Structure 1
């Protein structure tokens, strides 16, 4: 697969490294250092301390309603253990499968959410106004933790599959950032992916533990033009391909042509259950799509302009998805859906 220019290395000429006899082990070493080949705008921002401070925001619990999420423009959905979360300008939480809801005040307009079953009650929210807010009590109180994070809309969030204190965030117009201390400090992990001849913003993120990756961990990303991913060494964005990741990267094989996601559609939402990491769900304007093999082959589950989707951490068939101002649940892997009743 040809290397593509980027802000870090704009002079890279298209070539295939395997033509020069570079081995897998050599490739791993080369790729582990390539992100540091050239300084970027972000390095200067970090050295200048452009974005500092952490502000605590206390939010009180609001009254219950049957479903305050209906009619609300939904920015993100998630599971906190068995609880359902719906967020936008406010947040709603249901602890009984969507029968009743508790309305919560959001720290700001929320456009992305991330949780992890090993940290019940901890919710990370990406804000349209910039920054990441965290709650450790299921969404009742919030604290912004954005020291070192560049300013900008946080369009995607993910918790590392096997390291629940590591958080990944994508910032619109910038790149992929990571925090190893639950948001207390942030550092740049990767520039935006280079797709279709230009850098693309990341609209959705999910951390997936698969045997085919380097170290087993992949960060999958949805962009305005489709799907891409990077191993957690953050060496290089690449297409999703079958088989061993290093074999595919060295040989330059093209991604499979059978049953991919629709070409050119913006991929707004991605999710994977820890109980079945090879099972992925994606939200696109054409609807909800599913893959059972880590994103190599996709099938179309349901039509509808899907803006958000999440899967239960221990039940890969239990889904919540947002279609505009309508939120739906599926208990059978997306075969059938039921809309949450209006208030």
Structure 2
């Protein structure tokens, strides 16, 4: 998230004084997380000395000092999204975190991080990280470049390239074997060499082993911690909607391989003959396998060195823990704000609905502290593969329990606030790739769906339709769009006129409006001199003559005559895509803008000047929404850390 500035600048001096007087109020003049909690961990490690559990989840580092029950984010000093973690305590405690381009070190349990500057030497992005458990100053990293391994023996102060240009592809895994000074590196390509081996603590490396019988890529090579010379390997055989692995075993240093099982997740070797592969577990070194008892394949697994029957697994809902050798599991995600929120809508009663990839649709009523499921009956797997974007959600303003959800090849509705869903059909079959859904406040029975039509066979030859409407809850649809609109990026219904007026922004075709509910459309050409690649449009709720639009290249423009003429209103805004615009309905001079990668900006004078409003915001937002009951309260979705709330006073 380079370029994002999580500092706090308020645009009114009086407001700045109020902030100084009461900075501790949660959510008041400061962004605070509200969930949903969870997020898949890509790496889990336990400090052997303190037994603190660390998780790298969706780019952030989290720590738990109570066995995974509660979590806190520890990102101070990190400049990139973290993917890998490693910890050792001998002779001194050290914690390492790797992003795609850098390795960071912490000597205080993750409270602060410093860069080791390995990026200055790297030829490719980092894909593997390991620390010598007997020497916390010895670190090894493997990159996506051909066979590149870098090594440091002083905690990252200095690095040397110890392997390069070997017939290995990128380095996908690094792990120390039970034999003294022996290390193994799994090759990403798997051909012609499945792994590299070092017998001098990683100082030099040589190709080793024969190719796996079925080939494959992204090899993990895992030594058995209790049996010298025994290795396990997993390789991705297929990657359709998700990777599928094959697991092998060798007892002769990789000369021959024995197939063990297929799996749906990463490979981990544990103590006393335990072997884990996706949702499967073996207690006899791979001779037989049983279900692990988890709802899905974990992204990471860790063992408690002091409690052999206790281990942890990272899944989209959070961290699962077992204390009885996988007989039972319990979910723990309190404080783990690491979800990606792709879609957010707020009902008139301030109930939040959030679409979270990997979790589905979640709901939090106003005043509630917990989120709950709201997706019973939805085809979650189909929605997960949406293109060109996340699913769109609309809420009936007259009947807030009526919800509508559209995605790339389908449409569903709920009459009970998400407790159950039905799928009456997609917009004109599977043709419309829905990006936007909007209800007409003057006529809530009229629902609009916008996006892009790919399959011409759905309509008459030579026709396409980027906007449809339905008057029967999505059971049937009628074209309401001019094919000249192209790919619609935003659709707004302005109910101040009778009938309601429509506005649609388009990639490459600018801004369009319809005064007759979509029967005819007119392009507002006053914007042409600024550009046609628009992402968002909003209407001043107090003055429908005033429009704001944001474009892909950092422009924000305002019209005071319903789109006939436009002026740039960019003073104080960074040159980054303007993804969302909001106007406070009670104080229309207050306008909010979401600048891609730069955060939230606010104007107190109708857009003439802008100031950042990012204090407490963990990562760059994806969407902004105002609470309909309290327009001073702002919600922001993030791609890394769930939803944040900010109440200005």
| Interval of TM-score (by shorter of Structure 1 and Structure 2) | 0.5 to 0.7
Partner of 1:103: 73
Matched, 1:218 2:183: yes
Residue pairs, 1:120-135, within 5 angstroms: 121-128=93-100, 130-135=101-106
Partner of 2:311: 319
Q: Could you state the TM-score of these two structures normalised by the residue count of structure 2? A: 0.34
Residue pairs, 1:238-277, within 5 angstroms: 238=209, 248=252, 253-257=255-259, 260-262=260-262, 268=266, 270=268, 276=271
Measure, in 2, the Cα distance between the counterparts of 1:297 and 1:229.
26
Sort the Cα spacing of 1:341 and 1:140 in 2 relative to 1 into closer, same or farther, 3 A. Answer: closer
Measure, in 1, the Cα distance between the counterparts of 2:196 and 2:66.
35
Partner of 1:205: 174
Matched, 1:83 2:52: yes
Measure, in 1, the Cα distance between the counterparts of 2:283 and 2:198.
19
Partner of 2:116: 145
Which structure has the greater CA radius of gyration? Answer: 2
Partner of 2:84: 112
5+ residue gaps, structure 2, are 1-25, 27-31, 211-220, 231-250, 336-649
For residue 254 of structure 1, report the CA deviation from its aligned partner.
Answer: 1.3
Measure, in 1, the Cα distance between the counterparts of 2:170 and 2:42.
17
For residue 68 of structure 1, report the CA deviation from its aligned partner.
Answer: 7.6
Measure, in 2, the Cα distance between the counterparts of 1:104 and 1:266.
30
Measure, in 1, the Cα distance between the counterparts of 2:288 and 2:86.
23
How large is the Cα RMSD of the aligned pairs? 4.1
Sort the Cα spacing of 1:220 and 1:173 in 2 relative to 1 into closer, same or farther, 3 A. Answer: closer
Measure, in 2, the Cα distance between the counterparts of 1:191 and 1:217.
18
Matched, 1:156 2:143: no
Measure, in 2, the Cα distance between the counterparts of 1:79 and 1:322.
13
Measure, in 2, the Cα distance between the counterparts of 1:228 and 1:288.
24
Measure, in 2, the Cα distance between the counterparts of 1:281 and 1:297.
10
Partner of 2:160: 187
For residue 232 of structure 1, report the CA deviation from its aligned partner.
Answer: 3.2
Q: Secondary structure at the match of 2:121?
A: coil
Partner of 1:176: 149
For residue 225 of structure 1, report the CA deviation from its aligned partner.
Answer: 6.4
Q: Is the 8 A contact 1:219 1:232 kept in 2?
A: no
Measure, in 1, the Cα distance between the counterparts of 2:141 and 2:128.
6
Q: Could you state the TM-score of these two structures normalised by the residue count of structure 1? A: 0.60
For residue 192 of structure 1, report the CA deviation from its aligned partner.
Answer: 7.9
5+ residue gaps, structure 1, are 1-62
Sort the Cα spacing of 1:244 and 1:269 in 2 relative to 1 into closer, same or farther, 3 A. Answer: closer
For residue 126 of structure 1, report the CA deviation from its aligned partner.
Answer: 0.8
Measure, in 1, the Cα distance between the counterparts of 2:196 and 2:280.
19
Q: Secondary structure at the match of 2:41?
A: coil
Sort the Cα spacing of 1:280 and 1:120 in 2 relative to 1 into closer, same or farther, 3 A. Answer: farther
Q: Is the 8 A contact 2:91 2:134 kept in 1?
A: no
Q: Is the 8 A contact 1:75 1:87 kept in 2?
A: yes
What is the aligned counterpart of 1:330 among 319, 322, 337?
A: 322
Sort the Cα spacing of 1:311 and 1:72 in 2 relative to 1 into closer, same or farther, 3 A. Answer: same
Partner of 1:51: none
Higher RCO by CA contacts (8 Å cutoff, separation 6 or greater)? 1
Partner of 2:596: none
For residue 334 of structure 1, report the CA deviation from its aligned partner.
Answer: 3.6
Q: Is the 8 A contact 1:172 1:201 kept in 2?
A: yes
